[in-house]
Amino acid sequence: MASWGVISMELKRFWQKQIPVLLLLLLLLLPMGSALAAGHHNFVDYDIKVTLSDDCNYLRGTERILWTNPGQTPVSEIYLHLYPNAFREGSSFLNESKRLRRGVHLSASGYGYMELSQVRAEGRILGWEFVQPDDGNEQDKTLVRVSLPRELALGETIAMDVEFVVKLPSVFARMGRHGSFVMAGQWFPKVAAYETAGVRGRPKDGWNVHQYHANTEFYANFASYRVTINVPRTHTVAATGELVEGPRVIGHERQYVFQAQKVHDFAWAADNNFRERQSLFSSATQPEVLIQLYLQPEHEYLVSHYVQAARATLQRLSQWLAPYPYSTLTIVCPRAGATGAGGMEYPTLVTGWDAAAHDPGIICRVLVHEIIHQYFYGLVATNEVGEAWLDEGFTSYLEDKIMADAFNQQLSTATEATSILAPEPLVQEGWKYSSNHAYQANAYLRGKLILHEIERLIGWEQMQTALQTYCNRYLYGHPCTADWQQVLAEVTGKSWSAFFDYYVYGAGMQDYGIDDVVTSGLHTILKLSGPREERELVLRLHYADGTSKELSWNPATSDEVALQHHVPLVSVELDPMPYQVLLDNNRSNNRYQVSMSNWLPLWLTQLLQLFMGLFGW
């Protein structure tokens, strides 16, 4: 046995040799660790091969998923979304939607599903089970938990091979088939979102897993995709990313290979009657993008509207927010009747309104909206399941801005608020809203009106700086509501806590109203209510002699206004047209008709004065 002196000498020599190697390893690992922790790293990779059956009813596919643990916590199970099972009898999606969406009813003959045939990794068949973390509905098969053959430490990768079959539902909600038209969205077994500590304020690494609900959209990690698609040779394919091989005819099939990097989903569409058009776009702020249209024959005459909508949107967003970083933007028009597939966003691919629509204004607006999603859904990639307003609200707000700026189409944003019947907090999971209407009225409409309100308070210049800062800081970053609040505070140099607590985390509106008008002779007191915010609101007073007068009321300073007048007051309007208050969802209390009984003392006074004058009293 060697003496301790020799051992320690040997150990010293050993470590002296190893230290440079270890230091190098450490240096290599450090940036990887921090990039992974920040949630910016691509840690999912898909290689998918799929075939559409001749009758367009089935997709049969295999996929190899490479998944690398991005966090410090060991991972021993992986969750997969089987979205097509939303269209299977008894699913939470069908229960919640009552099989009705956008006026389309899904009959039992149109049901669809996804079968997971096999999941293998490292030479073993893996076990898996359906889970229902949200509602415990055992009929729901939209989420499975797969047990891994070993625990994955930080940076370790597992390769899983998955075989699957999809029976396409008839187009009802987003995906499915309608005649020979196929919309393949949410069509492959997809790894659920994994969040490392710090992402969206999360204290610990972990999965963010939910079933597929009628009111929720999607949330996933950025990934790279290589997708080989075989379709009947009569069909043309439009897809996310770039075409890297094909199309080539193999037997009775046509094969396409697409690739996409730094996207969090992959969608494709196929039809046998697409009319293809291409247009290149670039501007001072936007590098060249290939705009690819896949239109139905009925919409061929609208090509210029499609191209104009895409160009106008890319031009403004590249200037206001950040350049669109992908080389393609693909636009698909679904067949007439496939309404459910229309107006939807996927990375680098959007669907417009279906071919039955012929109003260029609406077709344009839908396209503008879906293309804006490329930023908030696509690039910034907020969690649409838990904070849908960060996508739909922001998208709808910028849709108003672009439609006004590029197409001179103004919406009456001030009257829109009246359709918000049930204001609810914006930070809550989509399926927890009281109804589908409440989800849309809040996530889309209340969300966008709150952003219009922020713009009213700080001006477009600061608003644009805030949006630009937010988009650039959180590019590929999955921010949450608090991150947006923080950016606003930095840009404007003030706290937004009270505002966010009331409007965003709360269900605040701006229901200003006239509660009472107390008249006594020539004196009147107006009793007013509403949020006690610093602003100047217009009160318009109408008198019996046909004259009217305007006053200003600051709700922050008082809830009463005292008036003196010489003729009877007939009515009072608070915030008359054109409305200044955007979030007033109850306009019925903004007008007060002074009743005849209120005038009596005044008439009596005047009558007495007349008699006194006549009789010389």
Q: Count CA atoms closer than 13 A to 567's CA, side-chain side.
A: 11
Instruction: Please name every residue paired with 30 in a beta bridge, in sequence order, or none if there are none.
Output: none
Choice between 318 and 351, CB closer to Zn ion: 351
Whole-number minimum distance, CB 216 to Zn ion, in Å?
13
Strand, coil or helix: what is 334? coil
Choice between 63 and 392, CB closer to Zn ion: 392
Whole-number minimum distance, CB 251 to Zn ion, in Å?
40
Choice between 166 and 371, CB closer to Zn ion: 371
Choice between 387 and 392, CB closer to Zn ion: 392
Whole-number minimum distance, CB 218 to Zn ion, in Å?
12
- DSSP per position, 517-583: EEEETTEEEEEEES---S--EEEEEEETTS-EEEEEE-TTT-SEEEEE-SS-EEEEEESPSSP--SS
- DSSP per position, 190-211: EEPEEE-TTGGG-SS-EEE---
Strand, coil or helix: what is 546? coil
Choice between 282 and 409, CB closer to Zn ion: 409
Query: Are the C-beta atoms of 253 and 232 separated by less than 8 Å?
Result: yes
Choice between 181 and 346, CB closer to Zn ion: 346
Task: Look up residue 398 and give its amino acid.
Answer: L
Contact window for Zn ion (CB under 5 A) among 125-133, 271-279, 384-392, 428-436: 384-392
What residues contact residue 524 under an 8 Å CB cut-off, 6+ apart? 517, 518, 562, 563, 565, 569
Whole-number minimum distance, CB 110 to Zn ion, in Å?
24
Strand, coil or helix: what is 381? coil
Whole-number minimum distance, CB 415 to Zn ion, in Å?
21
Query: Are the C-beta atoms of 191 and 80 separated by less than 8 Å?
Result: yes
Whole-number minimum distance, CB 142 to Zn ion, in Å?
21
Q: Which among 283, 318, 276 has a CA at the least distance from the CA of 297?
A: 276
Whole-number minimum distance, CB 185 to Zn ion, in Å?
14
Query: Are the C-beta atoms of 146 and 112 separated by less than 8 Å?
Result: no
Choice between 88 and 174, CB closer to Zn ion: 174
Position of minimal CB gap to Zn ion = 392
Could you give the CA distance from residue 195 to residue 206 in angstroms, rounded to a whole number?
A: 6
Whole-number minimum distance, CB 173 to Zn ion, in Å?
14
Site string for Zn ion, 552-581 (x = CB under 5 A): ------------------------------
Q: 332 is written with which tokens?
A: 């698909």
Site string for Zn ion, 388-417 (x = CB under 5 A): ----x-------------------------
What residues contact residue 285 under an 8 Å CB cut-off, 6+ apart? 315, 318, 319, 323
Q: 306 is written with which tokens?
A: 């499609």
Could you give the CA distance from residue 92 to residue 330 in angstroms, rounded to a whole number?
A: 32
Q: How many CB atoms lie within 10 A of CB 520?
A: 11
Could you give the CA distance from residue 41 to residue 39 in angstroms, rounded to a whole number?
A: 6
In this structure, the strands spanning 44-52 and 223-232 are parallel
Polymer length in residues for the chain: 617
Choice between 88 and 446, CB closer to Zn ion: 446
Q: Which among 550, 544, 543, 547 has a CA at the least distance from the CA of 577?
A: 550
Choice between 162 and 317, CB closer to Zn ion: 317
Positive or negative: CA dihedral 386, 391, 393, 394: positive
Q: How far is CA 387 from CA 30, 207, 375, 392, 439, in A?
A: 31, 16, 15, 9, 11
Choice between 392 and 511, CB closer to Zn ion: 392
Whole-number minimum distance, CB 444 to Zn ion, in Å?
7
Whole-number minimum distance, CB 395 to Zn ion, in Å?
5
Whole-number minimum distance, CB 457 to Zn ion, in Å?
25
Contact window for Zn ion (CB under 5 A) among 6-14, 57-65, 387-395, 588-596: 387-395
Choice between 392 and 584, CB closer to Zn ion: 392
Q: How many CB atoms lie within 10 A of CB 185?
A: 23
Site string for Zn ion, 341-380 (x = CB under 5 A): ----------------------------------------
Choice between 175 and 581, CB closer to Zn ion: 175
Whole-number minimum distance, CB 89 to Zn ion, in Å?
29
Could you give the CA distance from residue 326 to residue 273 in angstroms, rounded to a whole number?
A: 27
Q: How many CB atoms lie within 10 A of CB 516?
A: 11
Whole-number minimum distance, CB 465 to Zn ion, in Å?
24
Choice between 205 and 391, CB closer to Zn ion: 391
Whole-number minimum distance, CB 336 to Zn ion, in Å?
22
Choice between 255 and 413, CB closer to Zn ion: 413
Could you give the CA distance from residue 157 to residue 45 in angstroms, rounded to a whole number?
A: 10
Size of the site for Zn ion (CB under 5 A): 1
Q: What are the start-end ranges of the H helices in 232-359?
A: 303-320
E-assigned strand segments in 266-404: 268-271, 275-281, 289-295, 328-332, 344-346, 349-351
Q: Binding residues for Zn ion, per CB under 5 A?
A: 392
